Every structure is written in C-alpha cells, then in structure tokens.
Amino acid sequence: MDASIEKIDEAGSSLWQDAWVKLRKNRLAICGLVVLLLLGLVSLLTPWIAPYGYEEQNLILGASPPSAEHWLGTDIFGRDMLTRIMYGGRVSLTVGLIATAVALMIGVLWGATSGFVGGRVDAVMMRLVDILYALPFMIFIVLLMVVFGRNIFLLFFAIGAVEWLTMARIVRGQVMTLRKQEFVEAAYSLGLSQWTIIRRHIIPNTLGPVIVYTTLTIPSVMLLEAFLSFLGLGIQPPQSSWGLLISYGVETMEEFPWLLIFPGLTLSITLFALNFLGDGLRDALDPRTSKD
C-alpha cells in the first residue's frame, strides 16, 4: 500500500513542479536565490580563495580602513576583514542552515502530530513545549555543553532544539483548523492512514506560515550563535562568524566603523535575499495566487 502512495507522489509532484515554474517567473525571488547560492559557493571555497589566512595578524598595521591590499580594511589585530567575513560566512550559513533545519523538522512534525491527534496526546505534547519554553535557554545550553563538551555541531543542534518551539505552536494552530476541514474528513473516508493524511493533506497546507517563519528563524539563529560565542560557549576567536564580527564591531564602532559596517552589510544582504526567496516560495506554493 505504501508503495502505491509513493507512486502518487511521483505522478503528482505537480504542486512542487508548478511552484518551480512560478518561482522562476518571480525575478526578486530568483535574485535572492542567486545571491544565496553565490554566498554558499564563496563559503565553500573560502580556504582556497581567501586572500589571507583568517588568523594572519599584522600588529604593526593594526586597524586600517579599506585599501588596495585589504579591500574591506583590517581589524585591530591587523587581520584582513574580507577574509574574516568569508570564514565567518562558513560558520554563520552552516548554523543558519542546520539549526533552522532541525527547528523546522522537529517543529513541523511535533506541531502537526499534536494538532492532528488532539485530546490527551495534544495536551501532553504541548505541556512539554511549555516546560521547554519556561526552561531558561542559557541553562539548557550550558547543561548540554557540560555534559557533551564543547562541540560546534552540538551548538547548532542546541540552537535548533530551542527554536522549534515557536514553530510547533504555529503549525499546531494551523493544523487544528485544517483538521476540521471537509477535505481531511474526505481523506478519512477514503481510508487513508493518519500518517498519510498528515503528510499529504495537512502539511502542504501549512507551508505558507511555515516558510515565513523559517525566513525569520534563520537570522535569529545566526544572531543567537553570536550571542553564545560572545559568552564563550560558541566558537572562539581567532575563528570568526558574522554575528561575532558584528558584536566586536559594535564595541569599536566610533573609531573603526568599517569593522561594523562590512559584516553588517553582508548579514543584511543575506537576510534580504532570504526574505525575497521566502516570499517568492510562499506565493509559488500557493496555487491560489495567479500563475502569471
């Protein structure tokens, strides 16, 4: 029976096909996608294409404004900013991707199950969410670090494990209204299993808010990483991340503004690209918006 359902997905992946056709016509969204892909590519190739090493200091030079040798200037230790931003992108983009993916997976599944099954299961699942909400985030992370030791992937996971709570709430609310819709009852009367109904009928209809919330989660996850690193729980200098660069940049904002401006600009461009892509995706995945 499950094999036959896979066939429907094959024959009728048309929601995604149609979405891709529509997305391609959305110039802003495609711009966003291209920018993100470029940033990803640069991050991937950084060790080979970076002009300097990320820990290469030049204490005599110190903080210098943009010049021909150092396009984006240098920081107080004379390290090249362009290099540091490129290396920072590796951390920030990974954290954004992994932590958000973790939050998305747990949040959507948790929320959809809770909202769909309802009753006691829902009550227990949501109380668990409440408890996690109430737990101070810092204590949770410190606890994880103490138990498992400091590890960058653990950090990503920990951030995701906190960010999924709101996602679960949003999805649950959506699902509870969807569950009472007649097309879900129709799916029931066809004899479809609960899991199939959740996967084929419920989750696709929650995509709109989920995508919007995801584009909001990615930047907040990146900033969270900076905060943790700042406290000494995340990555440590001389390694860098955008968030870390920004928070150090803020300290020296008045004397050396370029230390704040360039990392800030990079993060902003990323967020713009994400939002354009997110809006485009949301429209593309909603068949009710016109095809042109």
Partner 1 sequence: MALLEVNGLKVHFHTRDGLVKAVDDVSFSVDCGETLAIVGESGSGKSVTCYSLLDLLPKPPAKIEGGSALFDGVDLLTCDSTQMRSFRSNDIAMIFQDPMTSLNPFITIGEQLIEPLIYNPDKSRTQTRSAARLRAIELLDEVGIIDPEKRFDCYPHEFSGGMRQRVMIAMALINEPRLLICDEPTTALDVTIQAQILALIKKLQQKRNVAVIFISHDLGVVAGIADNVIVMCEGTVRETGDTEAIFYRTQNDYTKKLLAAIPEGAKVMPSRLQQDSPMIEVKNLKTYFRDYGKPLAGARPEKRYIKAVDDVSLHIQRGEILGLVGESGSGKSTLGRSILQLAPITEGSVQFSGTEISALSRHQLIPWRRKMQMIFQDPYASLNPRMTVYETLAEPLLYHGLANAKTINHQVQLLMDDVGLARANLRKYPHEFSGGQRQRIAIGRAIATKPELIIADEPVSALDVTIQAQVLDLILDLVERHNLTMLFISHDLSVVRYISDRVIVMNKGVIIEIGETEALWASPQQPYTQQLLEAIPLADPKSERARLASAS
Interior angle at CA 105, CA 285 and CA 270, nearest 5? 65
Task: Please identify which residue in 51, 53, 65, 287 interacts with partner 1, judged by CB under 8 A.
Answer: 287
Contact 52, 229 (CB under 8 A): no
Q: Do 1 and 192 meet the contact criterion of CB atoms below 8 Å apart?
A: no
> Which amino acid makes up residue 54?
Y
Residue 122 touches partner 1, criterion: CB under 8 A: no
Q: How far apart are CA 237 and CA 244, in angstroms?
A: 9
Which member of 122, 200, 223, 257 binds partner 1 (CB under 8 A)? Answer: 200
Which CB sits closer to partner 1, 186 or 231? 186
Q: Which residue, 15 or 61, has its beta carbon nearer to partner 1?
A: 15
Quote the least distance from Cβ 127 to partner 1, whole Å: 20
CA distance 144 to 234: 12
Contact track, partner 1, 7-46, x by CB under 8 A? xx-xxx-xx-------------------------------
CB 148 within 8 A of CB 202: no
220 near partner 1, rule: CB under 8 A: no
Nearest to 282 by CA among 189, 207, 178, 229: 207
Query: Which range in 159-167, 211-219, 263-271, 282-290 contacts partner 1 by CB under 8 A?
Result: 282-290
> In angstroms, what is the minimal distance from the CB of 176 to partner 1?
15
Where are the alpha helices (H) located in 118-181, listed in sequence order?
119-134, 137-148, 152-179
Contacting residues toward partner 1, per CB under 8 A = 1, 4-5, 7-8, 10-12, 14-15, 181-183, 185-192, 196, 200-201, 204-205, 207, 285-288, 290
